[in-house]
Amino acid sequence: MHGSYVSPQATLGANVKIGRFCIVEEGVVLADGVVLEDYAMVLSGASIGARTKIGTYTKIGRGVRIGEDCSFTSFCEIRDRCNLGDRVLMGSRGTLSAGTVVEDEVVMKYAFVVTDTPDLTKNDEKSVGRLKRKSRFGASVVIMPSVTIGENAEIGACSQVRKDVPDNQVWFGTPAKYYREVDGTATPATAPVRKLALAR
């Protein structure tokens, strides 16, 4: 804990490991076995579940809830009031906008971003996204405001997702479009043209 600051009002479980130059503010709860690597920041009121690892230079915002057995590599930012389930994985340089909901077992590769935007009809309340259980994302994916990604869906690398993705579908591209079902099948109405051409 060389050079780190841990508030006296923070609660630390058993076997918590805190690296160098970390900040843990008041009201933070770190459950058993949490690891904070060097230069990590956990702001006031955040709660981190058992055995979760927070990587180097990662910032956890105010009031964030993170479940058990999660892992965040270097330079991630989880902004205020995000709610994350168990066994969530995020690669380096990922960002979740304030209020984003991430369900259990979601995998986000590096440079993943969930964006937000003010809703002018609701006093600038921001509209944010939801990533449902077991959804998976390649590197450099951008999720636009208010988009929901369905359970067990897959989004290809470098995609920009502008509308909701149903459960169990694979989408990719900019803007992202339907490609096939996760099980490898494609519905006739949306089957890729190249597959139809090969059938002739």
Ordered per-residue pLDDT tens for the chain, 200 residues? 689 999 999 999 999 999 999 999 999 999 999 999 999 999 999 999 999 999 999 999 999 999 999 999 999 999 999 999 999 999 999 999 999 999 999 999 999 999 988 766 777 677 888 999 999 999 999 999 999 999 999 999 999 999 999 999 999 999 999 999 998 777 655 555 444 344 44
Tell me if the pTM is above 0.75: yes
Query: Could you tell me if 126 and 117 are in contact, meaning their C-beta atoms sit under 8 angstroms apart?
Result: yes
Q: Enter the tokens of residue 56.
A: 């180097």
Report the distance separating Cα 28 and Cα 47, nearest Å. 6
| Helices within the chain (DSSP H only) | 193-199
Tokens 């168990």 -> residue: 86
pLDDT at res. 200: 41
Q: Helix, strand, coil proportions of the chain in percent (round to 5)?
A: 5, 35, 60
pLDDT at res. 192: 52
Query: Could you tell me if 45 and 28 are in contact, meaning their C-beta atoms sit under 8 angstroms apart?
Result: yes
Report the distance separating Cα 49 and Cα 111, nearest Å. 23
For residue 197, what are the CA distances in angstroms to 148, 185, 194? 33, 17, 5
Report the distance separating Cα 18 and Cα 4, nearest Å. 8
pLDDT at res. 187: 66
For residue 28, what are the CA distances in angstroms to 1, 9, 24, 52, 95? 16, 8, 7, 14, 20
Query: Could you tell me if 87 and 69 are in contact, meaning their C-beta atoms sit under 8 angstroms apart?
Result: yes
For residue 109, the SS3 value is coil
Q: Which CATH fold topology does 5-199 show? A: UDP N-Acetylglucosamine Acyltransferase; domain 1 (2.160.10)
Query: Could you tell me if 33 and 19 are in contact, meaning their C-beta atoms sit under 8 angstroms apart?
Result: no
pLDDT at res. 195: 45
pLDDT at res. 95: 97
